[in-house]
Structure 1
Amino acid sequence: MKKSLMLCMIVVLVLMTACGNSDKKAASANSPDAKDTITVWTYPVHGTYEDELKGLVSAFETEHPNITVKTEILSWAEGPQKFDVALNAGSPPDLYFHAVDGTYVNTGLALDIDPYMTDEIKNDYLPGTLELAQIGGKQYGLPLYQFQWGWGGNKRILEEAGVDWKSIQQNGWTWSEFTETAAKLTKKLPDGSTQYGLVTDGTSLDFIEMLTRNNGMPDVLNEKGEFQWGDDRITQTLTFIKNLIDKGYMPKETAAIAPAKRSDMFYAGQAAIISKAIPYYDVMIKNRNKDIDAGKVTGEKIDFVLLPVPHGDSAPAKTTMGAEGYIAFKQKNDKGEQHAKNTFMVMEYLSNAKAGNASNELVLPFVRKSQADMYAGKELGTPETIAASKKMAENIQIPVTLSLDTAVAAKMKQFKEQVVTPNIQALYSGEKTPKTIAEDFKSKAGQMLGQ
């Protein structure tokens, strides 16, 4: 009996000691001075961003010696899939570079950072920019810059064809006007190859999304979650694209053109205009021209012209814009409140005034007053590109995903992946007609979107 009592007492003491140690560990983990590691997955945002990021991380770690920042630079091609796998497994990085996405929030792992936002931080953001990283009124990310999609032209080719690109930058152009221009820009070159009016790639949805937004459709759904791609507007848009291919203004092999090939054709003078040309092309092409002068690259030097996307003849002009920056995540095995606070501290630091260099390098609108002040007078883009970008920003189309219920946004993403992508490729290859595709959109929307 005494032995049993003694054994029970020993077990109780062991359990109490274990619990005490566990409590100490938990308290230590949630202490502001505890050692912590924050993981950051990002992309080569601009040509020297990796070096820029190293500098920011080094400065942060000097100021916060208890926090280690572990970064990984992903490739644009494979990074999104790698992140999706990690997110679905419940182990995303603490910070991920992307636009805020309703599908991320829908997982329950996106971190609401409102509790950590101070008035000083909020007031530093320019009007309307913080909202570009909110879903349902909650802040899930901090923008680093405002992205902007446009088209880009080769100034020499445009001027040789008598195209008034300055007027287009200021006043925009309709689909009819673009079609007339594309006819002037398309011709046979001395080496027997074709100079096309326009080139796009056949693998992404950027092209169709830019055009539908310029024909009265903000996205597959509108801000209220109502299906848009089921009436004459989508048929008109698809027909506009088909006519450009049928008339030879775009390559007939568009379905097989990868993004890199699209750029190569533009650089080689085989296309007068390239689709989805962000203002950063101005800096990229100037750097390429320097490399040509230095003998590092062979080819013709190009003067870049930023162009707005043409709009439907009866529709208003719209510029695809939003914000990209860092989104905060927690993991399935939650690391605690102090880790969340540390995550936010890193996030804010990687989005600070000095980090505004990303906007400057990309020739994109700043998101913070401190960034605009720090880089005032140091603009890298040409005055023409900066002016055209500002003019295009007047017609901003804010992403509808910021207004949609997260479950609805997830369904729309699935619809694009499973329905829109194969249909657009079928359009490029001539396998399906615009009318057939429009009917398929409407039919599948009933099945997948309930509309």
Structure 2
Amino acid sequence: MVRKWLGVTIVSCILVVLALSGCSSSTDNNAGNSPETAGTNEPAGNSGGNNAGSGEKVTITLLNAQDNGIRDKFLPDVIKKKFEEANPNITLEIISVPYEQFDSKMNTMVAGGTPPDVWSHWGQSGFVDYNVRDMVLDLTPYMSQFNNPNISQATLDIYKVGDKQMGIPLNVYSSMIFYNKAIFEKAGVTVENYKPGDAAWTWEKLTELAKSVSKDYGKPSAIYGFTYGMGEHLLTYSWDWGLDVFDSGYATGFVDKADLTDPKIVDSTKFFQDLIFKDKIMPTGAVLDSISKIGDPILTGKVAMSLVGSWAMGGFKETNTKFGVLPLPTGPAGTSTPFIYADPLMISSKSKNPDAAWKLVQFMTSPEMQLEMTKETGYPPADSVAYEEWFKQYSDLTDIQYLEEVNTAAIEKGKESPNHLIAGYGDITSFMLNEQQPIFNKEEDPAGVLEKMNPKFQKLLDEIKQKAGK
């Protein structure tokens, strides 16, 4: 089967959300449904072996990756409660596991013949990997009943493979640098609101700013100036040094050639290694894990700035912490490239109750639940009307005009996270996290370590293709 993967078209499609037009999708037959009635109509297809419409009780599962308690509370307290009230013949079982265990839990459930009925991009793997493995149900037969006109057709098209609808957008996250205002105020340091793409806002400038608030490095009293929370390994560092190792794979879902000896990835890796050992503004992975056990380090005051996705705003809202934002710095290549995470809900191709699962997807993406989700969690929705409300709730915590400027630019200039677009990304991540340890834990020379890694990385890429029959 020939598949057309998502690639750079994601960015232009997501811009439709930011237009806040509320334009109607061509699949809005039930646009007026409330969360109490959304998903209660009979589906258009896929009913074999499914009793969701017969009155017989069925159970469906939703696999969730834990996220510091925000989504973990919203799913059972709001989604489960209201969905079961609206659908008394369906029981929703929510399975929550730590983020780093999401892929292994998914694989265990699939191997055992009991895959989750519904899930999203909540682990290391993503949409393309799931589709390559034929794990995702074609939702096209259900789309005549899709009930949210505020999720435009262009946004829905992000999750089309050919002419098949394989997922429904739930959230659209940008990335930016968030900082704890209290730390900078206490240090008497003023943070400038740089324009997105400003050539003066460089990684060197960020390092200087982080040094101004860092103290007691390595001690229990330490405040670390910066953490890099986007991507989990060195393959995501080099975009603004002029290299994306995954670039050749975006069209097909598979990376053909290992490229770890390129001077650009060596230079970018060295830069981030220096933030730990030379500049002393970023903790080692072990230290970050330790200080994270008491809570999000930027919320507890252990970290001043973090490059992370806009889901971080849920934590600021929950703790009523005042924060500021900054665009990503400009790199040596003269670019500033944020990550974008567009998360869809997907249904298992092996679901025993696909109609009931569709009702859940319909319910969670309805206009009312999209609005309630952003109000309860602080997460940005895929719904353009609810997206307007997303900014408003932070008016007491940050400069929302500047937040909107930085967020909009992040979407315009951003690139979808490679974990959504590359097959075998979970295996790639595990490999990288293990093999890069000498660089970030022992301060070994990046060039030498990367040279040793390269043939092993090539072998892994070849194995990923072979497993997929490519």
The alignment status of 1:153 with 2:204, answered yes or no, reads: no
The alignment status of 1:398 with 2:416, answered yes or no, reads: yes
Aligned pairs for 1:117-156 (under 5 A) are 117-118=143-144, 121=147, 123-126=149-152, 128-135=154-161, 138-156=164-182
Corresponding residue to 1:40 among 62, 67, 76: 62
Task: Look up the equivalent residue of 1:345 and give its one-letter code.
Answer: K
Q: How far apart are 1:387 and its partner, in Å?
A: 3.8
Measured in 2, the distance between the counterparts of 1:29 and 1:362 equals 32
Structure 2 unaligned segments of length 5 or more: list them: 1-46, 466-470
The alignment status of 1:273 with 2:305, answered yes or no, reads: yes
Q: 1:306-358: per-residue Cα shift (whole Å, max 9, x none)?
A: 23333422241111112224221033xx63xxx32332122111221122133
Aligned pairs for 1:356-367 (under 5 A) are 356=370, 357-367=372-382
Residue 434 and residue 154 in structure 1: after superposition, are their counterparts in 2 closer, same or farther (change >3 A)?
Answer: same
Q: Which moved more, 1:436-445 or 1:221-230?
A: 221-230
Give 1 or 2: higher helix fraction: 1
Match of 2:271? 240
Structure 1 unaligned segments of length 5 or more: list them: 1-25, 290-301
Q: Which moved more, 1:219-228 or 1:136-145?
A: 219-228
TM-score (norm 2): 0.71
Q: How far apart are 1:226 and its partner, in Å?
A: 5.0
Measured in 2, the distance between the counterparts of 1:351 and 1:306 equals 28
Larger Rg: 1
Measured in 2, the distance between the counterparts of 1:215 and 1:329 equals 38
Residue 107 and residue 131 in structure 1: after superposition, are their counterparts in 2 closer, same or farther (change >3 A)?
Answer: same
Q: How far apart are 1:76 and its partner, in Å?
A: 3.5
The alignment status of 1:84 with 2:107, answered yes or no, reads: yes
* Secondary structure of 1:235 counterpart: helix
Q: Which moved more, 1:180-189 or 1:137-146?
A: 180-189
Match of 2:340? 321
Contact between 1:143 and 1:324, CA under 8 Å: does it hold in 2? yes
Task: Look up the equivalent residue of 2:138 and give its one-letter code.
Answer: D
Match of 1:177? 205
Contact between 1:146 and 1:367, CA under 8 Å: does it hold in 2? yes
Contact between 2:273 and 2:443, CA under 8 Å: does it hold in 1? no
Measured in 2, the distance between the counterparts of 1:244 and 1:59 equals 47
Residue 147 and residue 217 in structure 1: after superposition, are their counterparts in 2 closer, same or farther (change >3 A)?
Answer: farther
Task: Look up the equivalent residue of 2:446 and give its one-letter code.
Answer: P
Residue 251 and residue 69 in structure 1: after superposition, are their counterparts in 2 closer, same or farther (change >3 A)?
Answer: closer
Match of 2:192? 165
Residue 422 and residue 388 in structure 1: after superposition, are their counterparts in 2 closer, same or farther (change >3 A)?
Answer: same
Residue 141 and residue 179 in structure 1: after superposition, are their counterparts in 2 closer, same or farther (change >3 A)?
Answer: same
* Secondary structure of 1:37 counterpart: strand
Q: How far apart are 1:95 and its partner, in Å?
A: 0.9
Aligned pairs for 1:367-406 (under 5 A) are 367-369=382-384, 371-372=386-387, 375=389, 379-380=393-394, 382=398, 383=400, 384-400=402-418
Q: How far apart are 1:86 and its partner, in Å?
A: 0.7
Residue 388 and residue 110 in structure 1: after superposition, are their counterparts in 2 closer, same or farther (change >3 A)?
Answer: same
Residue 352 and residue 154 in structure 1: after superposition, are their counterparts in 2 closer, same or farther (change >3 A)?
Answer: same
* Secondary structure of 2:238 counterpart: helix
Task: Look up the equivalent residue of 1:235 and give its one-letter code.
Answer: V
Task: Look up the equivalent residue of 1:83 and give its one-letter code.
Answer: M
Q: How far apart are 1:198 and its partner, in Å?
A: 1.7
Measured in 2, the distance between the counterparts of 1:362 and 1:171 equals 31
Measured in 2, the distance between the counterparts of 1:185 and 1:114 equals 52
Measured in 2, the distance between the counterparts of 1:123 and 1:51 equals 24
* Secondary structure of 2:225 counterpart: strand
TM-score (norm 1): 0.74
Contact between 2:317 and 2:394, CA under 8 Å: does it hold in 1? no
The alignment status of 1:284 with 2:309, answered yes or no, reads: no
Contact between 1:28 and 1:34, CA under 8 Å: does it hold in 2? no
* Secondary structure of 1:394 counterpart: helix
* Secondary structure of 2:73 counterpart: helix
Contact between 2:80 and 2:92, CA under 8 Å: does it hold in 1? yes
* Secondary structure of 1:118 counterpart: helix
Contact between 1:174 and 1:312, CA under 8 Å: does it hold in 2? yes
Measured in 2, the distance between the counterparts of 1:28 and 1:182 equals 58
Q: How far apart are 1:268 and its partner, in Å?
A: 5.1
Contact between 2:178 and 2:326, CA under 8 Å: does it hold in 1? yes
Count of residue pairs the alignment pairs up: 398
Q: How far apart are 1:175 and its partner, in Å?
A: 2.0
* Secondary structure of 1:314 counterpart: coil
Q: How far apart are 1:399 and its partner, in Å?
A: 3.3
